[in-house]
Structure 1
Amino acid sequence: MRRLRSIPLLLACAVPFAVVAQDNPDPVDPNPEVVTVDVEALRAEIQQILDEHRIPGASIALVDRDRTIWAGGVGRADVAADIDVTADHLFRIGSISKSFTALAALRAVESGLLDLETPVRELAPEIAFTNPWEATHPVTVAMLMEHTTGFDDLHFPEWVVVDPEISLAEGLAVHPHSRVSRWPPGTRMAYNNSGPSVAAYIVEKVTGTPFEEYAREQVFVPLGMETSTFHVPRGADLLAKGYEPDGVGEAPYEHIIMRPSGSLNASARDMARYLRMMINRGTLDSVRLLAPETVTRMETPTTTLAAREGVTHGDGLGNTTLFVNGHHFRGHGGTITGFRSRSAYSSELGVGYFVSINKRSGAVAVIERLLGERLTEGFEPPRGPVAVLSDDELRAMTGSYQLTTPRRQFFYGLDRLLLVRRIILEEGKLFLLPTVGGGWELVPVTATSFRQEGEPVPTVFGGVDEEGNRILQTGRDGNYMRVGTARLRSQQAVALTTFLLLLSAPLFALVWGPARIFGRMKTIPLRTVLYPLLATLSIVVWFFLPGQFASPLDMGTVSGWSLTWFIGSLAFAALTALSLFVSFRRDSVDGGRLIRLHSRLVSLACTVTLLYAWNAGWIGLRTWAY
């Protein structure tokens, strides 16, 4: 299965250089006036972070425009064998793979073999996908890589196939049900893993060369990335081992079925060369991989409503916006079994970094922040633009907004309740408020684009879609549509009331259970209180336990967890029907009016939950076929 712009190089040249190079970085022409980094001190800080979070090791690259400052590692590549991470150890970099898939596609574009605006139906009619808007909004190659096809992310059965040698055509044929456009393509963004893989298949088809081989010939070899590979590395001793959340057990090498979207293995030394090429707008040490304007196209979103209004925040082709210490960077992140990675660069500042850790941990963001701070020390963050809007223009943005573009449709039943935004106007300023927690001011850049304080570019676009709905587009955070505040508050009130009633059932059982054991409440039929309790508890068994403990592989096969979901949801439906029946029976119960009222309310809460879950497609869902 997820930012900053900067300042001219003239400012960088005023900063003295004092760098200790580690692990024999690539030879470069030394320039003593670029960036100051104390590598040994930085190494110690990173080691402390690894120790605090029980992460075995990290692969690190720091570069400036002309050199590799540091390419090496901290900690262990293999704990059992006590092997230190070096500049040459291959780490699995997950979705950063999409950046290299885009580079390969753009090489085909520059060779005249591919046009990004060509509809996919014309290039690969054999690839299955569904687009109800094909006549007016055909899916193009650019949309595949900018995540604007409307496709769902991979479904559970697609996560199950981990064959590292399966062909692209075979992988795309495994379970095409996820490739359904849920809104007109080229209007909204929702991140997914199948789009870039379809683009890679098209590259393979138009070039007549297997994609991995084409990427090697056209990207890795010219850049000197000799050991980088989408396949399992032949030299097993070069591959760092990934680890489970405890930092001790080794994680399996699970290959994503869509190799071009997440299977690349790369070293710090190789990633340093990639970053320098991007900083230098397509050229590395006199070798030109891409034209500068092609690199700019790679970095520029073009296929959303916001992009067509000039908003540059968001995903281009395998490349997204990042904010580092107040500066505008571009890059990508990646997560795969046993590893988490980040890469980022700024051509304006002439610096970039890469980090990969061999455990899935949020601590990668801590290391990333540290690297960004070290590389941008001495650079003044740019002041973001500001526009002056009238109160009427600002007021047009106010209201309540609900998410309409879930990355995974399976979770939309939760997302639409939890991912809500409100925009209010106070004392001539707009504030964006999330569902919970504090909000932030929206600083106008134009009448339709806004940024947060400290951001150098607009990140929020407010406009009107083709259906006339007022929307917010916020990059990977999603597309939100304005809804009536009264309607939204009523939904939230029903959801909260339902939750509290469901919670009250087991709490009340702590009262009536012991009471019945000790001979009290005998006039209350057991079924009156038991069935609502069982219906409520079945939600925990059916919904929350698989959500907490099951993996995508568990849910993508007929397993204990997937059967728990399937049978548990049906059991919840049956128990809800029984609880409704017994709690609303006409027979009277002496002295039990409040108890009967509570049972009826809990039964109604279960019914509301059942209807909502049915609408979300969760009841009776066979996740192994979803």
Structure 2
Amino acid sequence: MDKSEQNCELDSPDCLKINHMKNYRLSAFVILLSYFLNVSAQTKQVLSLSNNSIDSMLVELNDAIIKSKIPGLMVSIVNRKGTIYSGGIGYSNLEKKRKVTGMTAFRLASVTKMFTALAIEKLISDGKFNLSDPLKKIAPEIPFENVFEKSNPVTVVHLLEHTAGFEDVQLGRMIALDGKSMSGLKALEFHKHSLVSRWKPGERMSYSNPGYEVLGYLIEKFSGMSVDQYIKKNVLLPMDMKNSTILMNGTMIQNLATAYHFNGNGYQVLPQYTLSSNGATGNLVSCADDISKYLVILLNYYQGKTGDIIPEKNAMEMDSIHSSLAARNGLQIGYAFGNAVFANNKKITFRGHDGLGEGFSSWIFYNRSHGIAYAIANNSGQNNWEISQIIESFITRSLPTVHINSSPENLNRFKEFEGYYALANPKNDRWDFLQKLFNGVTVRVTGQKITLKNNRGNIDTLVHVHGNLFRIQSEIVPAFLFSKDENGNPFLQGYNTSQFFSKTAKAPIIIQQYLFYSGLLSMLITLVLGLLSFILLLFKKISFKTFFVLVLPAFASVSGLLAYRKLSLTDEVNKIAFSSINTTTLFIFFTSIGFGFFTLISLVMLIRQWNVLKNKLIKIVLSFTIIMLCYLSGIFLLNGWIGVRIWVL
């Protein structure tokens, strides 16, 4: 999920500390006392609403950010008439004890795509191009590959809805090493390895930042302005968002919240960064007061007091899903123009976007039919789920719970859809290849019930709504579709609004899963054998030759684990390191090679020293572990994980 002027500080100055954060919860008395002591002139209630209900919500939010290790939180809540609350809780800067206010700026990351899509829709309403225009027609200079171009060209709507089949941004292409943004074809050349259609455009949705880079180029080409200039002039300023900007070239933003990462003991300050982007994907910086203005206009179909941002029909078009195979078969849950549907509230369905950057996490949600919207952002990159539930409970408190009856239709016709379905639309083939193996579901039709069982053993029961559409019992809108592609192959779309599963034989998947789990087990065994070999050598129970045969597989496992650990930690707090040759990327490169190298040497040593090993059990165990390590090395090599040069991806 990507997601006024009353700013009430609920937390005591001692609640959050930079180092050695204590895991405790303040009593309700202390929280309430702190609230009344910290009410400031920077906060105000714009619409008439119960002070007690807002105060109660803020108390809950304060408790939630302490629990979630969030230093500061931006909050904006509006209805169609205006702002209900705009402000924040906690600290934008822990060292200086600077509190979050309605003017505190936060990086909103991928929420930017809502504004990019609005800018594209503005150009469309001005007659610059159409949704159905192929890229080859309006911008033939763009470097992308689509082997299906003759029958299924990439069009503007495919970019807006992430259905071009492009991959997401590669790790080494996320952050600009030189601190400079990009523009023109240079930005697209930089991401061209992701601009390859992996399936027929318009078939499946797969989130792609580089696809929105292409949209940014279209803004530049057809407006004659840079992305930040066009959005500023035609989107932000017409909505009176004077304190918001599309951040380019590492520009310093006044009152920008400091980004943090909680490492278990305290907060680590994260450096500012510049995306390798033309500004269309994740560069928006804004504050609660500005976002409140945006949300009010959004709820009113972008009809502002000083004029329309876009015609109302274009605003309605932005909330419809046009291009995916599932949408053409009647499913309107998924990604539209810079927004997606989130069907997890028991009373209403929200649309919106979420954003996640280095130390920032943001959500924007809205429901036009009920005329309510909210936005939240924090400066520690933590998940906003608990916070969103508190706010949604507050803004939907007067709405009834929705009860939907199931369809009485006989479900026997869905028997043909029984079987195993594997995920078929990962964001990145290299990094997410295991999802194809482990992210699958088994479909069973029993009487009037269809169940989905995933690979973790969890079972969901689907409720038939109408046609080929289903919903999970706990949700109020249909989010699952059974259908067939143009070749007659069954598919299932559901879960997280966009996961596309293709029916496939289960046996080969199960075999691969067991082989992979056996490989992980073998890694654990090698670590135990390696430790035992040191002990046995210390007490002179084995020879050096036997010791090396026993310890080499452990070196392979340690190398692989170190590479994965370094990759994961760097991805959390220092993505800029992926952009160049440095100690981090070289460490990952050599340790990933080490996994394959020590596996190969272990196999050679086992063959050479086979007769030296007298214990049959040791021979069996070593044979199993080394064969499984060879299997892991093979699949990692095929998927580019052995000797991975992140800086050139």
TM-score of the alignment, normalized to the shorter chain, above 0.5: yes
Structure 1 unaligned residues grouped into runs of 5+: 4-19
Q: Which residue in 2 is equivalent to 1:287?
A: 307
Deviations 1:94-146 (A, max 9, x none): 11110011111111111111211111122222221111211111111111111
- Residue 593 (1) aligns with residue 612 (2): no
Give the letter aligned to residue 215 of structure 1: I
Q: Which residue in 2 is equivalent to 1:434?
A: 454
Question: Any conservation in 2 of the 1:22–1:70 contact (CA below 8 Å)?
Answer: no
- Residue 98 (1) aligns with residue 106 (2): no
Question: Any conservation in 2 of the 1:25–1:68 contact (CA below 8 Å)?
Answer: no
Q: 1:77 pairs with 73, 92, 104, which one?
A: 92
- Residue 460 (1) aligns with residue 480 (2): yes
Question: Any conservation in 1 of the 2:160–2:336 contact (CA below 8 Å)?
Answer: yes
Q: 2:147 pairs with 121, 124, 132, which one?
A: 132
Structure 2 unaligned residues grouped into runs of 5+: 4-38
Question: Any conservation in 2 of the 1:331–1:344 contact (CA below 8 Å)?
Answer: yes
How is 1:133-532 mapped onto 2 (pairs within 5 angstroms)? 133-161=148-176, 163-231=179-247, 236-246=253-263, 248-258=267-277, 259-285=279-305, 287-323=307-343, 325-326=345-346, 327-362=348-383, 364-384=384-404, 386-436=406-456, 438-474=458-494, 476-522=497-543, 525-532=546-553
What is the CA–CA distance in structure 2 between the aligned matches of 1:191 and 1:234, rounded to whole Å? 27
What is the CA–CA distance in structure 1 between the aligned matches of 2:40 and 2:84, rounded to whole Å? 6
Give the letter aligned to residue 223 of structure 2: T
Give the letter aligned to residue 291 of structure 1: P
Give the letter aligned to residue 339 of structure 1: F
- Residue 606 (1) aligns with residue 623 (2): no
Deviations 1:136-183 (A, max 9, x none): 111111111111111111113322316354335433332421211111
Helix, strand or coil: the match of 2:337? coil
Helix, strand or coil: the match of 1:117? coil
Q: Which residue in 2 is equivalent to 1:535?
A: 556
Shift of 1:37: 7.3
Helix, strand or coil: the match of 1:410? coil
Q: Which residue in 2 is equivalent to 1:8?
A: none
What is the CA–CA distance in structure 1 between the aligned matches of 2:598 and 2:488, rounded to whole Å? 43
Give the letter aligned to residue 272 of structure 2: Y
Shift of 1:279: 1.7
Question: Any conservation in 1 of the 2:560–2:594 contact (CA below 8 Å)?
Answer: no
Q: Which residue in 2 is equivalent to 1:60?
A: 75
Deviates more, 1:306-315 or 1:224-233: 224-233
- Residue 579 (1) aligns with residue 596 (2): no
Helix, strand or coil: the match of 1:127? coil
Change (3 A) 1:58 1:302: same
Question: Any conservation in 2 of the 1:523–1:590 contact (CA below 8 Å)?
Answer: no
Deviations 1:421-472 (A, max 9, x none): 2222345311122222532211122342211113222112222223432222
CA RMSD of aligned residues (A): 2.7
What is the CA–CA distance in structure 1 between the aligned matches of 2:563 and 2:256, rounded to whole Å? 39
Which TM-score applies when normalising by structure 1?
A: 0.90
> Identity of aligned pairs, percent?
26
Paired residue total? 605
Deviates more, 1:532-541 or 1:132-141: 532-541
Deviations 1:388-433 (A, max 9, x none): 3434323223222211211122222322233122222345311122
What is the CA–CA distance in structure 2 between the aligned matches of 1:64 and 1:181, rounded to whole Å? 40
Deviations 1:50-75 (A, max 9, x none): 22233221111111111211111112
Question: Any conservation in 2 of the 1:228–1:265 contact (CA below 8 Å)?
Answer: yes
Give the letter aligned to residue 244 of structure 1: H
Give the letter aligned to residue 175 of structure 2: V
Change (3 A) 1:387 1:164: farther
Give the letter aligned to residue 118 of structure 2: L
Change (3 A) 1:547 1:242: closer
Deviates more, 1:589-598 or 1:111-120: 589-598
What is the CA–CA distance in structure 2 between the aligned matches of 1:235 and 1:409, rounded to whole Å? 36
Deviates more, 1:79-88 or 1:278-287: 278-287
Q: Which residue in 2 is equivalent to 1:114?
A: 129
Helix, strand or coil: the match of 1:38? helix
Helix, strand or coil: the match of 1:409? coil
Which TM-score applies when normalising by structure 2?
A: 0.87
What is the CA–CA distance in structure 2 between the aligned matches of 1:428 and 1:252, rounded to whole Å? 55
What is the CA–CA distance in structure 2 between the aligned matches of 1:114 and 1:152, rounded to whole Å? 25
Helix, strand or coil: the match of 2:647? helix
Shift of 1:234: 7.3
Deviates more, 1:522-531 or 1:140-149: 522-531
- Residue 43 (1) aligns with residue 58 (2): yes
Change (3 A) 1:316 1:35: farther
What is the CA–CA distance in structure 1 between the aligned matches of 2:613 and 2:269, rounded to whole Å? 62
Helix, strand or coil: the match of 1:160? coil
- Residue 617 (1) aligns with residue 632 (2): no
Shift of 1:508: 2.7
Helix, strand or coil: the match of 2:352? strand
What is the CA–CA distance in structure 1 between the aligned matches of 2:85 and 2:393, rounded to whole Å? 15
What is the CA–CA distance in structure 2 between the aligned matches of 1:86 and 1:555, rounded to whole Å? 34
Helix, strand or coil: the match of 1:479? strand
Helix, strand or coil: the match of 2:314? helix
What is the CA–CA distance in structure 2 between the aligned matches of 1:405 and 1:107, rounded to whole Å? 30
What is the CA–CA distance in structure 1 between the aligned matches of 2:409 and 2:602, rounded to whole Å? 56
